[in-house]
């Protein structure tokens, strides 16, 4: 068993700043196994080396781009002129508007599914950029760093908008790549994207199996690992999340919200809402209006 240490976001992000930091590792030193309470986006610019976890070794080289979520213990060793850029971030506290990025299969695969399934897929579904894409992404990263370090007027807003552009660009790159290896991870991303496109109705396991091209047992097992829920329970929770937004941001009646989200019975909608949120839609709306 490796001995690991834990890095804290407070040591990298200033309290009055957005939780976003660019670190240029040229070269990247060998680094012992560790965890952290934030996420990393890693772009390999040159050289090669071993990115290792407690179970596996993964070879990385120029063009590799991947996300590391904080709870995965990892490190670097056996490096040869490895140069990379680390983007430290915390999406949970950045409060970025998601708009329609949640409908991107590439976004779900790159930022959620691949990091959680990396040990199982043996890193076969990482994003591999070509030279043009590397230059494009590096320019975006350099612009973010210039804003963060220069601290000009509205630099937080500009940094956040550039980071959103970065997320969108790499999500599109991922979606455009033809996966010749293990395609199950991207299929899972497409499945979650399908769910996000259909929050106005219930979906069936049969539909999800057609989208995912997986067996029912494989789909259930993968969803349990990724979300902790069954596919149908995950989709129900997403519909309830949408209901929460409508309860706060609109004057629609609870009955109309229920119908807009595909619940033919508003009483059933209220029961499902309370089961998930531990309060009725009316209680949620009233509490939220006071805060």
pLDDT of residue 250: 95
Structurally, how many domains does the chain consist of? 2
| Least confident window among 83-87, 90-94, 161-165 | 90-94
Same domain, 265 and 149: no
Domain C-terminal end among 159, 176, 193 = 176
Residue 194: both structure tokens together: 């399908």
Same domain, 76 and 154: yes
**What are 106-126's pLDDT values in tens digits?**
999 999 999 999 888 888 888
Residues spanned by the domain of 257: 233-290
Backbone phi, then psi, for 264, in 5-degree steps? -75, -15
Q: Compute the average pLDDT of residues 84-113.
A: 94
pLDDT of residue 213: 92
The DSSP secondary-structure symbol of 279 reads: S
Does the pLDDT of residue 132 top 70, yes or no? Answer: yes
* Axis-axis angle for helices 216-227, 184-197 (nearest 10): 80
Does the pLDDT of residue 86 top 90, yes or no? Answer: yes
pTM recorded for the entire structure? 0.90
The whole-chain average pLDDT of the chain stands at 93
Same domain, 160 and 263: no
Instruction: Please give the share of the chain, as a percent, with pLDDT higher than 90.
Output: 86
- Please name which of 241, 245, 256, 235 lies closest in space to residue 285, comparing C-alpha atoms: 245
Q: Compute the average pLDDT of residues 159-186.
A: 85
Same domain, 58 and 154: yes
Q: How far apart are CA 73 and CA 33, in angstroms?
A: 6
Same domain, 172 and 242: no
Does the pLDDT of residue 1 top 50, yes or no? Answer: no
Same domain, 70 and 162: yes
The 3-state DSSP class for residue 20 equals strand
Q: Residue 121 in contact with residue 185, Cβ under 8 Å?
A: yes
Q: How confident is the model at residue 284 (pLDDT cuts 50, 70, 90)?
A: very high
Q: According to DSSP H, which parts of 72-204 are helical?
A: 91-94, 105-108, 114-121, 131-150, 155-176, 184-197
Q: Residue 71 in contact with residue 52, Cβ under 8 Å?
A: no
- String of DSSP letters for 25-66: ETTPPPEEEEEESSEEEEEEEEEEEEEEESS-EEEEETTEEE
Task: Write the CB contacts of 287 (distance below 8 Å, at least 6 apart in sequence).
Answer: 279
Domain annotation covers residue 110: no
Q: Compute the average pLDDT of residues 166-184.
A: 80
Domain annotation covers residue 59: yes
Domain annotation covers residue 138: yes
- Please name which of 248, 247, 272 lies closest in space to residue 257, comparing C-alpha atoms: 247
**What are 218-275's pLDDT values in tens digits?**
999 999 999 999 999 999 999 999 999 999 999 999 999 999 999 999 999 999 999 9
């Amino acid at each position: 068993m490796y001995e690991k240490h834990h890095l804290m976001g407070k040591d990298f992000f200033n309290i009055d700043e957005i939780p976003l930091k660019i670190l240029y590792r040229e070269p990247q030193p060998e680094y012992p196994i560790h965890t952290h309470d934030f996420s990393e986006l890693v772009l390999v610019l040159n050289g090669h080396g071993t990115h290792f976890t407690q179970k596996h070794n993964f070879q990385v080289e120029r063009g590799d781009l991947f996300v590391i979520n904080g709870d995965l213990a990892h490190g670097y060793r056996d490096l040869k002129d490895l140069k990379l850029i680390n983007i430290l971030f915390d999406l949970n506290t950045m409060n970025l508007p998601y708009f329609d990025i949640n409908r991107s299969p590439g976004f779900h695969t790159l930022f959620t599914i691949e990091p959680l399934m990396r040990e199982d897929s043996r890193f076969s579904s990482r994003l591999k950029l070509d030279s043009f894409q590397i230059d494009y992404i590096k320019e975006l990263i350099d612009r973010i760093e210039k804003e963060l370090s220069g601290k000009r007027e509205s630099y937080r807003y500009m940094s956040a908008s550039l980071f959103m552009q970065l997320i969108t660009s790499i999500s599109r790159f991922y979606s455009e790549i033809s996966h010749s290896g293990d395609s199950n991870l991207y299929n899972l991303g497409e499945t979650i994207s399908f769910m996000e496109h259909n929050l106005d109705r219930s979906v069936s396991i049969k539909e999800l199996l057609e989208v995912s091209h997986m067996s029912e047992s494989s789909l259930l097992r993968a969803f349990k690992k990724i979300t902790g829920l069954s596919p149908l329970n995950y989709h129900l929770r997403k519909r309830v999340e949408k209901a929460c937004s409508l309860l706060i941001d609109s004057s629609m009646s609870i009955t109309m919200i229920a119908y807009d989200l595909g619940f033919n019975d508003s009483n059933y909608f209220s029961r499902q809402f309370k089961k998930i949120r531990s309060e009725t839609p009316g209680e949620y709306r009233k509490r939220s209006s006071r805060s």
